[in-house]
Amino acid sequence: MTTNEAMQARWDAVMMRNYGTPPIAISRGEGARVWDVEGREYLDLLGGIAVSSLGHAHPAIVDAVTRQASQVMHTSNFYMHEPGIALAERLARLLGEPTRVFLCQDGATANEAALKIVRKHFQGERAEIVSTNGSFHGRTLGALSVTGNPAKRIPFEPLPGPVTFVDFGDVNALSAAVTRSTAAVILEPLQGEGGIIAPTEGYLQGAREICDRTGALLIIDEVQSGIGRTGAWLASGSAGVVPDIVTLAKGLAGGMPLGAVLATGLAATTFAPGDHGSTFGGNPVSCAAALAVLETIERDGLLSHVTAVGQRWAAGFDSIVHPLLASHRGVGLWRALELSDDKAPQFEAAARRHGFLVNAVRPNAIRLAPPLILTNEQADSFLATLPAILDHSL
């Protein structure tokens, strides 16, 4: 029995069944590369599901975490600390207007906080949320209630509501669904778990106009799209849209657990003392890591780098002709390969055998969300191997 197989047996004996059994165990990483417990090397093109924004063991994060851990690791929300205040100040500048910040643990808890802001803001006068089919906002009950995937929702119903779902990208359907009884609209700039689906041009601007007309709040879920993933700090900012509430997590702290809610206007002042909290949210170590991520992205010009490497990939995908590769889509270093058949699980396994970690996000779609530091050479190595991976997926 290999070390990997032994660890799978131990996993099966003690872990709940919600994840299934992972195919390999990772022992270490460096940059965009990782090694499993057998010593085999992989190019990590998933980045911990768009989390490892600076890759693995980046010196800036290692130094920030080590330094902060040697000072104070936890204070609770009863006390202030410099990394938390500095991070909130930095994040507040992303929206370009007065903003208040709540720091939490992850994307689901960020969306839970956003939904609570909406409830408190309207004081029972409005309750309906409008979301989209194919969306994903988290697995806690509130976040799950606005997730447009029946297979994920139905086993846990009844859920908080009411929630109305409309097709993503259809501004007319959104306009018809949002009324003066609607409390909020929650959207992703691109649907991540849906397979990196972009809306039609002008969709986010249309959503902003609809919310302005009806008085509903606009929540933009940038948990997966934010902090450089698309080549911009915020994908909604690229569209020229300022939401009432933005939720962040994943790549924000480069692997440390951290989420954030940014709110403007009246939504920024809705919470009063005692309305919400998080024991671990915004802990000093995670905040220090996030500051290192933001500073490194800015200092190293990673936003333009992400755009350039993403365009390099797009051109490379265009040049590959294979019966299994139907198309590709995405922006920056957030891409999907659409297959002509439901062979995504086979593709994921074949890619792993060839030394690449990718994700079968849909039965016929492969998600690519590598570290933002992915080099041209590393991107090209995947392009060069892609035909063979496709061949071995049939």
Catalytic-labelled residue, pool 36, 44, 106, 221: 221
Residue among 164, 159, 158, 220 nearest 188 (CA): 220
**Catalytic site residue 250?**
yes
Rounded CA-CA distance 214/285 in Å is 41
Which residues, 6 or more positions from 199, have their beta carbon under 8 angstroms from its beta carbon?
A: 168, 169, 189, 190
Catalytic-labelled residue, pool 36, 106, 244, 250: 250
Residue at 213: amino acid letter: R
Catalytic-labelled residue, pool 102, 122, 136, 317: 136
Cis previous bond, 98, omega within 30: no
**Catalytic site residue 136?**
yes
**Catalytic site residue 380?**
no
Burial class (CB in 10 A: 0-12, 13-18, 19+), 8: middle
The greatest distance separating any two alpha carbons of the chain, rounded to the nearest whole angstrom, comes to 64
- Please report the DSSP string for 166-223 in residue order: E-TT-HHHHHHH--TTEEEEEE-SSBTTTTSBPPPTTHHHHHHHHHHHHT-EEEEE-T
Torsion sign across C-alpha atoms 58, 60, 65, 67: positive
Residue among 332, 333, 371, 334 nearest 56 (CA): 371
Residue among 232, 379, 255 nearest 302 (CA): 232
210 with 174: CB under 8 angstroms?
Answer: yes
Catalytic residue annotation: 136, 221, 250
